[in-house]
Amino acid sequence: MAEEYAIAMDIGTSGLRAQAIDLSDNSTISTTVTLRHPIPGANVMDHLHFAVNVGLEQAHQLIIEAANKVVDQLGIDKSKVVRFAVCGNPIQMSLFQNIEIRDLAYWGTNAMERLNITPPKRNAQRLKPGDVDLDINPDADVFIPPAIKHEIGADALAMLVKSGVVDKEGIYLVSDFGTNAEIALVIDGEIFSCSAAAGPAMEGQAIERGMLASPGAICDVTADGDNWVNKVLNSDLKVVAGDTMNVSAGEVITPRDNDTQAKGITGTGVISAYSLGTEQDIISIPDIKTPNNKLNLQDGVYLSEKDMVEIGKALGAFRAAHITLCVEAGIDLDDIDAVYMAGASGFYVDPLKSLTVGQIPACSWDIYQIGNTSLLMARDIVENPDLLDELQEVADGMQGNHITLATSEIFEKIYGLELAVCEQNMPLWKYDEWLESYGYGNLPEVEDDPEIHRLYDSDIPDIGINGLSIIEEVGTKLEAKIDGCINCKACENECPENALKIEDGVATIRSDFCNGSACFRCERICPEKVFLYEKMFYIQGEESVSL
């Protein structure tokens, strides 16, 4: 049999992950991840805003160029790739396919009719690489898994199928944690779902020394008396012990016995530090009670008070979403039989800390950590293409109730309480009083001895014989001539990510560093009010590393 390869890819809100597979024995050859998403923005709504206001074609080309970079990095003969499967949420999948996306931006049939929008079906599809500009063997099959409804995407289907909860009686909460968290409450097969824009802090972004889950990331901290032991991801994405630190003084108490240096901290590490700091009374949100008002971890990595507010907002979105789903379904949080945690953030975080900070319900007593289900399902499809039709049947048979949190009065009330906790230090007993007054029940007691089931050693169990490679520079150029620009460079100086340069009235933005509609400080600071972000356009193939 001639050599034949397959590629499985997960397009997440914070970046891309892919694996090359040898179809002769379904073994993993290599794994590649990007540290950022190629489209400007800090969350999925920013990506949607870019596609609607700057251009769908430009957003599609940014994603495809990044996907092609990932394919190249996998190090296989692209002419021998015969299968390619990709999984992600409805926005990422629509951008990949270059199909109508405005139905995801505007809510309600009246808006659809007024804007003459016909939502696509988003069923399972088999395409050719040329249909989406993918640079692999032109005769390969490209597999697109189905959405359950247009709001409940392939990534949500992946976590439901891979967790097995759709076939079980009982009440289960399944979450794929990340910048945009997919959350589903499943009651005897009936699904109540939502997407919580938890924020980039969940992936280590919008954190001063934050990074995605990749080598060098602090992913956990544990207590050693009053000191903290850092846990760091090594080059194989395995967790190793880092330095033991006095985080108040920033002193190394016991140095690590390995050569893995910390480069930053990922979302799971932030959650862990948030939990441990609160437990030790070093943190009283939003304050950090150390001499420099920072948690001093190792190798110059730290967490600031600003970081604490960001993570508080993100965790608040989770707890508010959980309560909202339960209210909509007519149950209490205590009724949930088991909790499933998917994705890198859901895998590397300590579930006991997740309980105490609200990332999962405090009453969770049976917890499963199941890894990157989106990538796993893409892999299942390339190994068994007939699975695509089976997944369509599963999607067709699911009863879906999608709650749009942006328009939910229940969520609005609860998230207001969460903001009061993380920004104004409102005590949880007061939160509970307000919750009861709304008729939404009470906050449950924290389960002190849950059953924890960790199915793998890492969120990507097998990185392959050639190991893991990382693409740090995934962005390309956005450029525009700014008519009326006086070259004052106020926009360039204001950019918090150093993503913007302006020369002779021409603005150039590095797409993967730009925060997009989550920021717009470049527009607001312009003294002449001539800088219009929506006029930026994509320059195909041009790197912007020098920015």
Q: Give the model confidence (pLDDT) of 249-281 as tens digits.
A: 999 999 999 999 999 998 888 889 999 999 999
Neighbours of 365 (CB within 10 A): 16
Question: How far, in Å, CA of 161 to CA of 462, rounded?
Answer: 20
In terms of phi and psi (left: phi > 0; alpha: psi -120 to 50; beta: otherwise), the region of 293 is left
Closest C-alpha to 177, from 194, 200, 204, 202? 202
Residue pLDDT, tens place only, 472-499: 888 788 889 999 999 999 999 998 878 8
Phi, psi at 348, each rounded to 5°: -85, -20
What is the arrangement of strands in the sheet containing 537-543, beginning at the earlier edge strand?
500-503, 506-510, 476-481, 537-543
| Residue 247: strand, helix, or coil | coil
Residue pLDDT, tens place only, 22-44: 999 999 999 999 988 999 987 77
pLDDT of 471 higher than 70: yes
In terms of phi and psi (left: phi > 0; alpha: psi -120 to 50; beta: otherwise), the region of 122 is left
Question: How far, in Å, CA of 11 to CA of 151, rounded?
Answer: 16
Span 401-429, average pLDDT: 88
Widest CA span of the chain, in angstroms? 68
Residue pLDDT, tens place only, 134-153: 999 999 999 999 988 766 78
Question: How far, in Å, CA of 52 to CA of 48, rounded?
Answer: 6
| Residue 306: strand, helix, or coil | helix
Amino acid residing at 92: Q
Q: What local confidence, expressed as pLDDT, does residue 46 receive?
A: 86
In terms of phi and psi (left: phi > 0; alpha: psi -120 to 50; beta: otherwise), the region of 52 is alpha
Instruction: Please give the residue that has the higher pLDDT: either 442 or 457.
Output: 442
Neighbours of 387 (CB within 10 A): 19
Question: How far, in Å, CA of 306 to CA of 310, rounded?
Answer: 7
Closest C-alpha to 517, from 37, 54, 179? 54
Closest C-alpha to 513, from 480, 543, 485, 469? 543
Reported in sequence order, the residue ranges of 129-180 that DSSP labels E, i.e. its strands, are: 141-144, 171-176
Instruction: Please give the residue that has the higher pLDDT: either 242 or 541.
Output: 242
How much is the mean pLDDT over the chain?
88
pLDDT band (50, 70, 90) for residue 299: very high
